[in-house]
């Protein structure tokens, strides 16, 4: 239907013109192309247009530009929630720098990045400790919406890296009552010889609160 209607040329971003949707073939990739059309429809919103451009950059193969786009999205916080799906995809790549940056960006989006919880949980097993640390921190920033990642965060309490163990305890506290299954592991962490770990475990236990009593 789009091909039967002439669409006038009008620049809407640094890389796209309104007339570009003239040649979109929806049948080739319905989801991606339909979302592109929706972005074009909203081109008059400058912030949205800028964010859409950043999302497009992340989907391209140029590492430096992608890292720049992610840094820009981090400054937008929750307003960048439209980028969650592309960031989740980037967080599973083999490039550790891209993976870490995408995870950090998901954390900055916060609770609206809840869909990223499974990918972030998987990242807790990454061989790169910086990626694992970024994942625990991001899950803490997502908070209660990251409850499904609690089992993976519990496992991270035994990570060989002390900083990751501390971050895992903090994340469980930020998830709060939804992390009640972590109570036994946090109680065990109170006995750690590392001074800071018992302290953060105790804080997490206070935030989680006592288990709900069965009626």
Q: What are phi and psi of 77, to 5 degrees?
A: 60, -135
Domains and CATH numbers, the chain: 45-208 (1.25.10.10)
| Segment 35-48, tens digit of pLDDT | 666 665 555 567 77
pLDDT score at 185: 96
DSSP bridge partners of 11: 17
| Segment 81-122, tens digit of pLDDT | 999 999 999 999 999 999 999 999 999 999 999 999 999 999
Whether residue 50 is predicted with pLDDT greater than 90 in this model: the reply is no
| Segment 125-182, tens digit of pLDDT | 999 999 999 999 999 999 999 999 999 999 999 999 999 999 999 999 999 999 999 9
Nearest to 142 by CA among 167, 107, 177: 107
Tell me the pLDDT band of 213, cut-offs 50, 70 and 90.
very low
Whether residue 6 is predicted with pLDDT greater than 50 in this model: the reply is no
pTM of the model: 0.78
């Amino acid at each position: 239907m789009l091909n039967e209607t002439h669409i006038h040329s009008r620049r809407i971003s640094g890389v796209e013109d309104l007339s570009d949707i003239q040649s979109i073939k929806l049948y080739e990739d319905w989801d991606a192309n339909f979302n592109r059309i929706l972005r074009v429809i909203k081109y008059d919103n400058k912030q949205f247009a800028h964010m859409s451009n950043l999302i497009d950059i992340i989907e391209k193969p140029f590492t430096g530009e992608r890292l720049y786009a992610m840094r820009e999205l981090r400054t937008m916080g929750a307003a960048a929630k439209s980028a969650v799906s592309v960031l989740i995809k980037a967080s599973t790549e083999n490039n550790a720098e891209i993976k870490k940056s995408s995870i950090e960006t998901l954390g900055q989006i916060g609770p609206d990045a809840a869909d990223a919880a499974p990918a972030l949980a998987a990242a807790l097993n990454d061989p790169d400790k910086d990626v694992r640390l970024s994942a625990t921190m991001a899950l803490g920033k997502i908070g209660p919406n990251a409850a499904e990642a609690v089992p993976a965060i519990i496992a991270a309490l035994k990570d060989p890296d002390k900083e990751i163990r501390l971050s895992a305890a903090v994340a469980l506290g930020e998830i709060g009552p939804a992390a009640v299954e972590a109570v036994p592991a946090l109680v065990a962490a109170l006995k750690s010889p590392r001074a800071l770990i018992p302290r953060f475990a105790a804080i997490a236990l206070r935030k989680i609160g006592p288990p709900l009593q069965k009626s």
